[in-house]
Structure 1
């Protein structure tokens, strides 16, 4: 996939927990079904925004339309936001 620049991954709980149904099945996943690299970035992003440089591998690539958008972790749905600069 083409990389545009530094990507930032942040995670925030959904205010309305039933909104997880708004995403397609392939974009709404349980934490245990993420890859190991996605799990690591997700956990880091729970504490703070994660910065991924243009030469680094980001498991939540900005322009990947099939990447997980919402993740259920310990009973809560979280939105995974990816921004790019």
Structure 2
């Protein structure tokens, strides 16, 4: 029974939202609030468009790329 519960918990995270196209054009702070409301399990990183970022993957991270404090591209988990 405990094993089935663990599988169900993992499935719930996998079924979570993974991209936020609706926040493009929003200010970064408001976008962060929306993303955290949908996925409390992720951390948010802010970067300027064109910043060099490590190409690593992280299922609990969302990078928000800003241009003049406005979200410039769709934030995604990874």
- TM-score normalised by structure 2 residue count: 0.33
In the superposition, the TM-score normalised over structure 1's length comes to 0.31
Question: Highest CA radius of gyration, 1 or 2?
Answer: 2
> Whose relative contact order is higher, 1 or 2, with alpha carbons under 8 Å and at least 6 apart?
1
More strand by share: 1
